Amino acid sequence: MTAGGSLGRLAAGRLLRRPVAVAAVAVLTAVALACLVGPLLTGHAPGRIYPDLVRVAPGPAAHPRGDDLPDILARLAFRMRVRLEAVVREPGTVRLTLAADRPIDPRVLTALPRSDLFGTPVVLSRAEDGRGLVVSVPVRRLHFLLGTDALGRDILSRSLVAGRVSLLIGLVATAVALIVGVVYGAVAGFSGGTLDAVMMRIVDILYALPFVFFVIVLLVFFRANLVLILAAIAAVEWLDMARLVRAQTRALRHRDFVRAAEALGRSRAAILARHVVPNTLGVVVVAATSLVPRVILLESFLSFLGLGVQEPETSWGALVADGARSLETAPWMLAGPTAFLVATLVSLNLIGDALSDALDPRLRDLGAT
């Protein structure tokens, strides 16, 4: 080993030498950015329903496709109470010849743009008695890269918006678990003695509780909402963190720099905040990176049981659960959200692994492997 350097800098350097870790960071950043700004770019509001484009298969093609047009137009004509005499397809538009037994009120034409598939119609000519109409309608070109679901909603937009919720739950629940766990663990470890014993017994007892079952009971009996889900998940996950930080704090408690700070007359709170907690952060960061995927997975588990995020809000878990149920009819409903979920979770897990290796001072001499 040549130069020293702070643990953080060394770790960052080691992390960046691992191609897998760099790739994972890149994927995670891409997913997060996509979820943040993506919904604005897909061209579909996430809740927008296209009743005529239900279970559209994914692909780069524009919808409505030429083959589907006659069916869609026939349905619209029925709704407008007119007969569709002729359809002439032109680039970007269709020319429709409509007829009826009674004079056609041009206002029925608003059904065309209202279907979200066509633009504003232009009347080209009108029969003398008003019973015939020739209109030219621009056909919109809608893209559903990941297909649409059973209601005709764009899966890409839904997945991206769901990602916001899933990532939010992952980050907030982890942050809460982190803060509670670090403070609890640091106080217990630093105090030692009876207080430490009592505090850790409490953790031991809570640890043996079948918490996930409690969470299910909680969410079934009180209507599920985001805050409750967050609280429930955080309540499960802070225990690990508390144990980890306590063990670290115990190890740091009698180190010289802590003694020195004590000799200098710093208050215990100041020593904890300034000297002890920062030294536990390496372990905490690693634990937190593996906590986020656990939290997201737990939320998706709850969503599968119908206890997680509720419509119209959605999360990756809710979408994946939805997709799993319609796997036979529309496999892409599962594929899209699952791809996002799994890519995120795998990247987070890989980053956690790489970080724990990178922050491990024992591996310093072994070089990056």
Residues at the site binding other proteins, with contacts judged by CB under 8 A: 20, 201, 204-206, 208-210, 212-214, 216-218, 220-222, 293, 297, 300-301, 304-305, 317, 320-321, 324-325, 327-328, 334, 338, 341-342, 345-346, 349-350, 353, 362, 366, 369
Closest separation between CB of residue 363 and other proteins, Å?
9
> How far apart are CB 210 and other proteins at their closest, in Å?
4
Smaller CB separation from other proteins, 112 or 235: 235
Shortest spacing between CB 128 and other proteins, in angstroms:
60
Minimum CB distance to other proteins smaller for 20 or for 269: 20
**Which distant-in-sequence residues (6+ apart) come within 8 Å of 9 by Cβ?**
none
Of the two residues 52 and 357, which places its CB atom closer to other proteins in the complex?
A: 357
> Closest CB to other proteins among 64 and 336?
336
SS (H, E, C) the chain: CCCCCCHHHHHHHHHHCCHHHHHHHHHHHHHHHHHHHHHHHCCCCCCCCCCCCCCCCCCCCEECCCCCHHHHHHHHHHHHCCEEEEEEEECCEEEEEEECCCCCCHHHHHHHHHCCCECCCEEEEECCCCCEEEEEEEECCEECCCCECCCCCEHHHHHHHHHHHHHHHHHHHHHHHHHHHHHHHHHHHHHCHHHHHHHHHHHHHHHCCCHHHHHHHHHHHCCCCHHHHHHHHHHHHHHHHHHHHHHHHHHHHCCHHHHHHHHCCCCHHHHHHHHHHHHHHHHHHHHHHHHHHHHHHHHHHHHHCCCCCCCCCCCHHHHHHHHHHCCCCCCHHHHHHHHHHHHHHHHHHHHHHHHHHHCCHHHHHHCCC
Q: How far is the CB of 331 from other proteins (least distance, A)?
A: 8
Q: Which of 155, 142, 139, 162 is closest to 55 using CA atoms?
A: 155
User: What minimum distance in Å lies between the beta carbon of 247 and other proteins?
Assistant: 14
Return the number of the residue (208 or 264) whose C-beta is nearest other proteins: 208
When the beta carbons of 12 and 228 are compared against other proteins, the nearer one is: 228
Residue type (1 letter), 357: D
Of residues 20 and 122, the one with the C-beta less far from other proteins? 20
Give the integer Cα–Cα distance in Å for 323 and 336: 9
Q: Write down the least CB distance from residue 213 to other proteins, Å.
A: 5
Q: Which two tokens stand for residue 317?
A: 């878990």
* Whether the Cβ atoms of residue 152 and residue 51 lie closer than 8 Å to each other: yes
Is the CB of 11 or the CB of 232 nearer to other proteins?
Answer: 232
Strands 83-90 and 122-126: unpaired
Nearer to other proteins among residue 191 and residue 338 (C-beta): 338
- Cβ 334 to other proteins, closest distance in Å? 7
State in angstroms the smallest separation of the CB of 64 from other proteins. 29
Least separation in angstroms between CB 15 and other proteins: 15
Which residue lies nearer to other proteins by CB, 153 or 294?
A: 294
Sign of CA dihedral 123, 125, 130, 133: negative
Shortest spacing between CB 222 and other proteins, in angstroms = 6
Q: What residue type is 82 in one-letter code?
A: V
Of 72, 206, 86, whose CA–CA distance to 142 is shortest?
72
